[in-house]
Chains A and B, each alone.
Chain A
Amino acid sequence: MADLAGKSRTCFTQDVSAPELPLSAPLNVGFDYTRSVGPVLGRFVDALRERRVEGVRGSDGRVHVPPLEYDPVTAEALSEFVPVASEGEIVSWSWIAEPVDGQPLSRPFAWALIRLDGADTSILHAVDAGTPSNVHTGQRVRIRWAEETVGHIRDIAYFVPADGPDTEPTEAPPPVAKREEGAPVSVVITPIHLRYEHSASPEESRYLRGLAEGKLIGQRCPSCEKVYIPPRGACPTDGVPTTDEVELPDTGIVTTFCIVNVPFLGQKIKPPYVAAYILLDGADIAFLHLVLGCDAADVRMGMRVRASWKPRDEWWTSLENIGHFEPTGEPDAPYESFAHHL
């Protein structure tokens, strides 16, 4: 899920009533997964778009709905499509009293395995039945189609009792299927969104709280005595938490850097600009930041730099309090002095 990181946003806030607890904040990640459907699932979702259901015949003659690309017993590729009804019966069910995000209905409903007429296996879907007493195994149910069908499993909005009227859908996240008008569906897009409460480690929390006061707090490994900023939950050399606090100056050197020439989504500065590893004086690990205030072509390994802090009223628990680093004009550090930090 590397792609999720690009859309995440973490905002740490300090809980003053419990200053010893690590900082934590909501973390929401989301990504619209784009998937090729292939010939079997492609035909299935194409049919859904036309409000029809098609299964596929297995090597033992059973009709699978939803269709399987390969036989579950023999692993043989399957390709014989069989139309089935949009009505069938409940094989088993459970009741969800408090639906969670993204489910087909946001009012209480039943999850059910449903065997459509003409099929031998069952499809998992929602049944809008009001109360659990209105659901039973063997019950006849039919598809309640989505208002707009696009070629996606969610074209089946949910099921309703076969002899009952359509009910009104509750809001659900829209699936998307990319296609030319009238062309078969080749791709489905499913939005995936997850919510977390993200916690920083106790060591990171000390560092982040320090930043809110304009301090750069590193911590020293009790074993190898290396100073890490940001501090680590455990020293990557010794596997023990870093403990002793060390306040570091806001001066240091550029160990290595790159000039960003490529524009990308979410970029805050107009290229070209320099992203550099900054090794603060007294630290044993460099961190990534920006070097501005000089021509990108003038940035060098070993160049002395100083933090350019944002106005104090913009400070919070973030390294963003330092807008960038800029050259001090002092002589460069000799290569040997930082070679082991590269």
Chain B
Amino acid sequence: MPDVAVVGFAQAPNVRSTPGTTNGVEMLVPIFAEVFERTGLSKEDIGFWCSGSSDYLAGRAFSFIAAVDAIGAFPPIHESHVEMDAAWALYEAWLKIRMGEVDTALVYGFGKSSAGQLRRVLTLQMDPYVVAPLWPDSVSIAGIQARLGLESGLWSEKDLAEVAARSRADAAGNPAAQLSGTVEVAELLDAPYFADPLRAHDIAPITDGAAVLVLASAERAADLVDSPAVITGIEHRVDSPALGVRDLTKSPSTAAAGRALDLDGVEVAELHAPFTHQELILREALGLGDQVRINPSGGVLTGNPMFSAGLARIGEAANRVLDGTARKTLAHATSGPVLQQNLVATLEVLS
């Protein structure tokens, strides 16, 4: 089976709100053009298209259909969609190439979180019988998870603030980031709680955004870019949707996905952690030591475009390989409440 490589990645600026439509067209058209320019490909060269987005985020049925206009889908194209983060759309595209059906694929994700009330919209990811009818919001659920770790001594409020401060400092080098800059940990800890025990800095911002990533078979990739970022492993697992069954201070599904991969020699990891404590859970689940550089992009604490943020982690991890700053990187994406579903991939220069 052919290896699959990332040959191009682009993302729209992560912003608190855009005046555009919920179908993402305004955000997608420019970044499609950007990856085509970077790879020298045109839409006619793309064998398979796959996207991730959500009708609930858009507030309209079949919202992803309208986004297809951004492609210029005539003559008809080979297209698919997942109602999850577009990292899972990437998985579907990866399979298409592995199976030899196509040798290029374009994956995109988009979301206008600002259109609705995000933490309430996300309630509808939860069990529809005994959880969602109570309308628990995503931030409160994460707060329950954070307290479990705080009270059992796994992490402190200072540990969480340090994650936030490092993320914002790193985001200074990321032109797409929504938040960035130098902040003192002590200053962060002086802020009031937003959802005790979480403060604003513990919570990823509400972000509108989109991302696009181009995959090619390793053979085709060699013609397109100097050092393709080959996906040497990709795994995804899921934990029980029943919140009270899981030990919420751990991520068994991330650990299981990581165990199925060879993580030796990973230099950089892009982790999809929408809450500060979730970065600590993920690092532990993946066994990432201090030698691994975490989220040099700033991560989703500095910009969290729903349904493309996980894909963007893969894009950022691929970029470190594409630009030669790392030989092996790890990307993680999550979907669902409190790290329910997790995808882990490794990307490498193939010598």
Contacts and interface: CB of A to CB of B under 8 A. Distances in A.
The 9 nearest A-B residue pairs measured at CB: A94-B143, A239-B72, A122-B244, A102-B135, A233-B25, A196-B59, A95-B196, A72-B240, A237-B74
A175 B129 CA distance: 11
Interface in A117-138: 121-126, 132, 137
Interface string A94-129: 111100111110000001110100000111111000
Contacts of B68: 236
B129 A111 contact: no
Contact of B137 (A8, A96, A132, A202): A96
Contact of B61 (A2, A24, A97, A100): A2
Interface string B135-149: 111011111111110
A1 B64 CA distance: 12
Interface string B64-89: 00101111111000000000000000
Interface of B: 19-23, 25-26, 29, 32, 43, 55-56, 59-62, 66, 68-74, 114-117, 119-121, 124, 128-137, 139-148, 151, 193-198, 240, 242-245, 248
Contact of A232 (B69, B135, B144, B196): B69
A101 B135 contact: yes
A201 B240 contact: no
B20 A198 contact: no
A41 B130 contact: yes
Contacts of A232: 69
A103 B61 contact: no
Contact of B140 (A35, A68, A94): A94
A143 interface: no
Contacts of A103: 134-137
Contact of A234 (B19, B72, B240): B72
Interface stretch (A187-195, A263-271, A298-306, A322-330): A187-195
Contacts of B137: 96, 100, 103
Contacts of B193: 95, 97, 132
Interface of A: 1-5, 8, 21-22, 24, 27, 29, 33, 35, 37, 41, 44, 64-66, 68, 72, 91-97, 100-104, 111-113, 115, 121-126, 132, 137, 152-154, 175, 188, 190, 192, 194-202, 204, 232-241
A328 B133 CA distance: 54
Contacts of A113: 144, 243-244
Contact of A93 (B72, B132, B144): B144
A92 B148 contact: yes
B69 A236 contact: yes
A141 B117 CA distance: 30
19 contacts: A22-B20, A27-B59, A64-B244, A66-B129, A92-B145, A101-B117, A111-B143, A111-B144, A192-B124, A192-B132, A196-B115, A199-B22, A199-B115, A202-B26, A232-B69, A233-B23, A233-B70, A241-B25, A241-B26
Nearest to B197: A94
A21 B243 CA distance: 43
Contact of A94 (B70, B71, B74, B147): B147
Contacts of A3: 61
Contacts of B26: 201-202, 233, 241
A92 B20 contact: no
Contacts of B242: 64, 66, 68, 72, 121
Given A154-B133, A239-B71, A95 B143 contact: yes
A201 B18 CA distance: 11
Given A41-B129, A95-B196, A236 B72 contact: yes
A264 B126 CA distance: 33
Given A232-B69, A235-B69, A154 B134 contact: yes
Nearest to B147: A92
Given A68-B242, A194-B121, A234-B72, A92 B144 contact: yes
Contacts of B21: 22, 199-201, 204, 233
Contacts of B124: 192
A198 to B, nearest CB: 7
B128 A35 contact: yes
B245 A72 contact: yes
B135 A94 contact: no
A30 B228 CA distance: 47
A123 B68 CA distance: 41
Given A33-B128, A194-B121, A201 B25 contact: yes
Contacts of B69: 232-236, 239
Contacts of B32: 239
A238 B116 contact: no
B115 to A, nearest CB: 5
A1 B130 contact: no
B151 A137 contact: yes
A98 to B, nearest CB: 9
A235 B68 CA distance: 10
Contact of A196 (B23, B116, B134): B116
Given A201-B21, A233-B25, A239 B129 contact: no
B70 A234 contact: yes
Given A132-B196, A153-B134, A188 B144 contact: no
B68 to A, nearest CB: 7
Nearest to A66: B130
A293 to B, nearest CB: 32
B56 A1 contact: yes
A190 B62 contact: no
A300 B47 CA distance: 41
B119 A137 contact: no
Contact of A194 (B25, B120, B128, B245): B120
A3 B56 CA distance: 12
Nearest to B192: A97
B128 A100 contact: no
B244 A100 contact: no
Contacts of B120: 100-102, 194
Contacts of A33: 128
Given A94-B196, A198-B59, A111 B141 contact: yes
Most chain A beta carbons < 10 A, residue from B26, B56, B59, B117: B59
